Amino acid sequence: MSVAREDWLRAHGALWYGDARYRLVWFVLPQAVTCAVAGLCLALAAHGEWGRPATASKARVAELTALRDRAGKNGDRKAFEELSAAATRNQIDASTKLGTLYDPLTAPYFPKKPSPDDFSRATALYGPGAAAGELLAVTRLADVLLDPANSNGDLKRGCRLAQAWIDDPETLNRTITGEERLTVKLAKCYVHPESGLPQNPVRAGELVTAVLWRKHRPTIDAFINNLGAQDPALITGIQRHLAKQGRYIGLVDGRANPALITALQVEAGIKDTLATPRPEPRRVTPSGPAPEVLALAGAARTDRQALARLKSLAESGNADALIFYADLFNPVSNKGEVFAPDAQVAVAYYERAAAAGQGRAASQAAAIYDEGWGNVAKDPKKAAALAIQAVDLKDYQMEFWLLFEEGSSWSGAFWGALQAELKARGFYTLPVENKRNPAVITAVRAYLKARS
């Protein structure tokens, strides 16, 4: 291998592991050639110079945004023509802004726009920005390509772009608020065999419930009011995700049922408490709790004999009984209606369940230690260690709590302790600071991938 080749590979490797945007550009590279040809044609037609990078000036971006808003919200034809001219001169930011005026999915935001709704035109205008790794263009292009109303959609390309969007540190830092529609589309990619993405029904279910938490009306209509019309594979993913978190104990069969709808209503804040459905006779799967444990867990709040039997099973080392018994004393769910909560009892049994392989138990114990709930003293270091244990056990709830800021409220001291844990494992290289920052989210993402 030549020295030049070795130098190129070394530089590529450094950028690949050190710069998320460099990875993003390679991720959307199949679009790059098409966009370059299209841009070259535009340049020849306008006697311009192709290859001009995205505008670096924040002031210029603000100018382009103002032009877009004047054109779309006020019907200002002159502003529209000026924005169009900038896009023709190969200004990538201008092209993306102009794309939103042709994009049928953003039409409600620009009621007086002089441009028609045109999926094809929006796709072409978003292309250069997406090929350059510009996050807004990547996001909008993914949304357009995955929309069922787009007759020229592209499932694989759209899913690939949506994955790049959610993997971007900026997305993790801002969370998915404002892009709920795209989040649900990405969830469907994880249960569509032809999407080109690894199939992950539980991750799909996690994303749908994350959108429901944000009270997104279209998702509530689709997944609560019309759940039976959804893809059975996606319904199965939702059932599996909620079952892993102990928030659903019905059948995992890909069908809508009252118990699942109730659980989703709780996720969306429509109901305050989750009514425990009567356990239905079903074939026991190796990964699910035994019917006896489920029945005891449901009855133990009001039946002392059931409580004693559940405790006996827990003391014998039954992992499911350990976590369900801990749940009964968790101050978050036990408000003292029947018997008093006891956080010390809860964490003791949660930690035993975690040692037996229950990831959700590690997550619950971590939350109690970080908050100092009840009679348990705050211990952010222990909380961080338990959070890592939950990740190691592949608990999707902990993954969501760590990656999405709105999913939880970890203390600053917890984030510092987590940074120290990840630093010891070689995933976090910056100085430890007691706050959530983009670097620790990137480290968490890297650790998750390494453990997958």
Question: What does the angle CA 277 – CA 263 – CA 354 come to, to the nearest 5 degrees?
Answer: 90
Helix 304-315 to helix 291-299 angle, to the nearest 10 degrees?
130
- What whole-number percentage of the chain has pLDDT above 90? 55
Q: What is the DSSP letter of 430?
A: S
Dist CA 173 CA 166 (whole Å): 10
402 Cβ contact list (under 8 Å, min separation 6): 387, 391, 408, 410, 418, 441, 444
Residue 28 · residue 164 · CB < 8 Å = yes
Residue of 117 and 337 predicted with greater confidence: 117
Lowest mean pLDDT among 29-38, 53-62, 180-189, 315-324: 29-38
pLDDT above 80 (res 312): yes
Residue 235 · residue 250 · CB < 8 Å = no
Question: What does the angle CA 186 – CA 190 – CA 196 come to, to the nearest 5 degrees?
Answer: 95
Sign for the pseudo-dihedral over CA of 365, 368, 370, 376: negative
Mean pLDDT of all residues in 287-291: 69
The predicted structure's pLDDT at residue 147: 96
Dist CA 57 CA 388 (whole Å): 40
Residue in 116, 111, 117, 127 with CA at minimum distance from that of residue 40: 127
The predicted structure's pLDDT at residue 407: 64
Element (H, E) at 92: helix 92-102
Sign for the pseudo-dihedral over CA of 317, 318, 321, 326: positive
Element (H, E) at 95: helix 92-102
The predicted structure's pLDDT at residue 60: 87
Give the global pTM.
Answer: 0.58
Residues in the chain: 452
Mean pLDDT of all residues in 253-273: 82
Residue 145 · residue 165 · CB < 8 Å = no
Max mean pLDDT range (18-27, 95-104, 126-135, 284-293): 95-104
Q: What is the DSSP letter of 224?
A: I
Confidence of residue 22 (pLDDT cuts 50, 70, 90): low
The predicted structure's pLDDT at residue 291: 82
pLDDT tens figures, 166-179: 988 777 666 688 89
Confidence of residue 404 (pLDDT cuts 50, 70, 90): confident
Q: Which amino acid is at 388?
A: I
Mean pLDDT of all residues in 421-427: 92
End-to-end alpha carbon distance in the chain: 33
Residue where the block lists tokens 């790059």: 32
The predicted structure's pLDDT at residue 358: 92
In this structure, what token pair is assigned to residue 238? 């939702």
The predicted structure's pLDDT at residue 285: 39
pLDDT above 90 (res 414): yes
pLDDT tens figures, 68-89: 999 999 999 999 999 999 999 8
Confidence of residue 405 (pLDDT cuts 50, 70, 90): confident
φ/ψ region of 19 (left if φ > 0, alpha if ψ in -120 to 50, else beta) reads: beta
The predicted structure's pLDDT at residue 11: 52
φ/ψ region of 324 (left if φ > 0, alpha if ψ in -120 to 50, else beta) reads: alpha
Confidence of residue 21 (pLDDT cuts 50, 70, 90): low
Dist CA 404 CA 411 (whole Å): 14
In this structure, what token pair is assigned to residue 349? 């049994």
The predicted structure's pLDDT at residue 18: 53
The predicted structure's pLDDT at residue 72: 95
Confidence of residue 269 (pLDDT cuts 50, 70, 90): confident
Mean pLDDT of all residues in 247-271: 86
Residue in 152, 227, 218 with CA at minimum distance from that of residue 185: 218
Mean pLDDT of all residues in 144-162: 96
The predicted structure's pLDDT at residue 55: 54
The predicted structure's pLDDT at residue 41: 39
355 Cβ contact list (under 8 Å, min separation 6): none
Mean pLDDT of all residues in 222-228: 91
Mean pLDDT of all residues in 236-260: 88
Confidence of residue 406 (pLDDT cuts 50, 70, 90): low
